């Protein structure tokens, strides 16, 4: 399979190049040249299939030409050692719980998959140059990537995160690991972190000196595996006899997760329509209304993993539908909620149903409450375990959310991070001094 750039000014790449480089030469995002449809029999059989087997079928359609099938199966099974259950919250509204992975984040799947795929390519070449992985995070990406890559030889990971803007629990998930993981605390916002990472990839001198790659959701190996979740959601809903008019609602920030769902749809997944739920960062919502995409600086909200002012994967969605606003709005609608509405939703849902939403999932849940039509059944992604936002959830609901053991273990570690300004020259100096050279 070949991959082209959404900007159309870069040469086609094979999978290995797309994964190792992350971003194309023209700063565009890689897109597969074809999206293979899956056979009808697969959709018929899905309700009886395990998550891992469903995922292996989906993975083969994307990566089967470029990765040995036994290795791919191994990789999928290694990545998915947990479930992603569909839980009924109330009549016609279900939560797809994406937080049962190692760091309780949906990003665990893409992170682990990418780490293993990168390792597969490094090993195949038999080469021993270290690869430097750069990742910008507003919280969840950092912990998922750091844990997905932890101890994978041949790779060193630098996690850039905005100082004081991630929750203490999130922070300790990538600052306490050590080994091949370095946390970099940037005096700025998430968009600054993302800009530093993007600038590093575009910097000729750095690229001559060292192998740099990204683990942000711009990487095809990070975002595509998230399609597994949506096939599993369909399978579980079909088993319940609820899949006929199935609406999928995804709380979105950088739009990697919903983009993977849309790729699933293009592979034949019978979802009737999609809803992208936003917090107060409503750039995509405004695009749906006006046809104009106008990025702006992000604002800080309760759902901080969605505080994105210029969602990277918009370019992929735009490309997927031939840049047609009409095609996009016929399949996808939007919703936007400010912090006060998020609080209200969390309280109302808890009082009515007993289900504890985290602030991100709350946007998804409310978008279904507001947007479901007669006869439709809605599934929203619950993208984070509520304990990851314990301070907020406890305060809003007046409860004491239990911290799962896996999470508590991180909190016992010692925090280590490198302070950094938001000036690219400082970051560059640091990489030249401490990065792994070719």
Ligand X SMILES: *Cc1c(COP(=O)(O)O)cnc(C)c1O
Which residues are marked as active site?
A: 107
Establish if 222 lies at the interface with ligand X (CB under 6 A). Answer: no
Q: In the complex, what is the shortest distance from the CB of residue 381 to ligand X, in angstroms, rounded to a whole number?
A: 8
Choice between 105 and 157, CB closer to ligand X: 105
Instruction: Catalogue the long-range contacts made by 198-206 (C-beta closer than 8 Å, 24 or more residues apart).
Output: 198/23, 198/27, 199/424, 199/427, 200/134, 200/424, 200/427, 200/428, 200/431, 201/21, 201/22, 201/23, 201/134, 202/27, 203/428, 205/428, 206/428, 206/431, 206/432, 206/435
Q: Are strands 86-90 and 131-136 parallel, antiparallel or unpaired?
A: unpaired
Choice between 72 and 277, CB closer to ligand X: 277
For ligand X, the binding residue among 10, 15, 58, 105 (CB under 6 A) is 105
Give the whole-angstrom CA distance, residue 210 versus residue 206.
6
The 239-258 site mask, x for binding ligand X (CB under 6 A), equals ------------xxxxxxx-
Establish if 28 lies at the interface with ligand X (CB under 6 A). Answer: no
Structure tokens that stand for 24 in this block: 């194309």
Q: Give the CA distances from residue 384 to residues 2, 244, 328, 418, in Å, rounded to whole numbers and listed in that order.
A: 33, 27, 27, 27
Choice between 43 and 106, CB closer to ligand X: 106
Tokens 């009409």 belong to residue? 326
Q: In the complex, what is the shortest distance from the CB of residue 239 to ligand X, in angstroms, rounded to a whole number?
A: 26
Choice between 43 and 336, CB closer to ligand X: 336
| Residues 302-331 contacting ligand X, CB under 6 A | 305-306
| Residues 39-98 contacting ligand X, CB under 6 A | none
Establish if 298 lies at the interface with ligand X (CB under 6 A). Answer: no
Q: Which of 384, 369, 359, 368 has the alpha carbon at shortest distance from 103?
A: 384
Q: In the complex, what is the shortest distance from the CB of residue 63 to ligand X, in angstroms, rounded to a whole number?
A: 20
Choice between 157 and 206, CB closer to ligand X: 157
Q: In the complex, what is the shortest distance from the CB of residue 359 to ligand X, in angstroms, rounded to a whole number?
A: 8
Establish if 377 lies at the interface with ligand X (CB under 6 A). Answer: no
A 10 A CB-CB count for 423 gives 14
| Residues 138-197 contacting ligand X, CB under 6 A | 140
Q: In the complex, what is the shortest distance from the CB of residue 382 to ligand X, in angstroms, rounded to a whole number?
A: 9
C-beta separation of 97 from 132 below 8 A: no
Q: Give the CA distances from residue 185 to residues 78, 93, 174, 175, in Å, rounded to whole numbers and listed in that order.
A: 31, 39, 11, 9
Q: Using CB under 6 A as the criterion, which residues of the chain lie in contact with ligand X when the complex forms?
A: 105, 107, 140, 217, 251-257, 305-306, 360, 383-384
């Amino acid at each position: 399979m070949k991959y082209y750039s959404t900007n159309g000014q870069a040469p086609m790449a094979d999978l290995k190049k797309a994964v190792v480089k992350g971003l194309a030469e023209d700063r565009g995002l890689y897109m597969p040249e074809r999206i293979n449809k899956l056979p009808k029999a697969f959709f018929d059989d899905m309700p009886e299939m395990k998550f891992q087997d469903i995922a292996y079928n989906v993975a083969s359609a994307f990566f089967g030409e470029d990765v040995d099938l036994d290795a791919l199966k191994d990789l999928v099974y290694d990545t998915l050692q947990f479930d992603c259950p569909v839980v009924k919250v109330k009549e016609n509204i279900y939560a797809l719980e994406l937080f049962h992975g190692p760091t309780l984040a949906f990003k665990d799947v893409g992170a682990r998959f990418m780490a293993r795929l990168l390792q597969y390519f490094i090993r195949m070449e038999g080469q021993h140059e270290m690869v430097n992985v750069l990742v910008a995070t507003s919280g969840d990406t950092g912990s998922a990537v750091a844990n997905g890559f932890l101890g994978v030889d041949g790779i060193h990971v630098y996690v850039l995160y905005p100082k004081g803007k991630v929750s203490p629990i999130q922070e300790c998930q990538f600052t306490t690991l050590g080994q091949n993981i370095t946390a970099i605390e940037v005096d700025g916002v998430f968009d600054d972190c993302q800009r530093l990472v993007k600038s590093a990839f575009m910097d000729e001198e750095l690229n001559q000196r060292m192998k740099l790659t990204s683990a942000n959701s711009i990487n095809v190996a990070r975002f595509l595996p998230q399609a597994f979740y949506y096939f599993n959601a369909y399978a579980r809903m079909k088993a319940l006899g609820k899949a006929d008019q199935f609406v999928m609602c995804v709380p979105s920030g950088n739009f990697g997760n919903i983009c993977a769902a849309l790729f699933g749809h293009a592979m034949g997944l019978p979802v009737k329509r999609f809803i992208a739920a936003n917090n107060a960062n409503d750039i995509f919502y405004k695009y749906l209304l006006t046809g104009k995409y106008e990025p702006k600086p992000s604002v800080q909200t309760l759902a901080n993993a969605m505080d994105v002012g210029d969602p990277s994967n918009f370019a992929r969605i735009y490309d997927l539908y031939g840049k047609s606003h009409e095609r996009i709005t016929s399949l996808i609608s939007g919703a936007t909620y400010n912090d006060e509405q998020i609080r209200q939703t969390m309280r109302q849902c808890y009082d009515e149903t007993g289900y504890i939403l985290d602030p991100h999932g709350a946007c998804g849940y409310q978008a279904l409450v507001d947007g479901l039509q007669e006869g439709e059944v809605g599934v929203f992604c619950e993208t984070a375990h509520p304990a990851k936002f314990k301070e907020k959830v406890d305060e809003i609901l007046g409860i004491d959310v239990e911290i799962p053991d896996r999470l508590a273990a991180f909190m016992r570690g010692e925090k280590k991070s490198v302070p950094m300004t938001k000036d690219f020259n400082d970051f560059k100096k640091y990489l030249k001094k401490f990065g792994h050279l070719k």
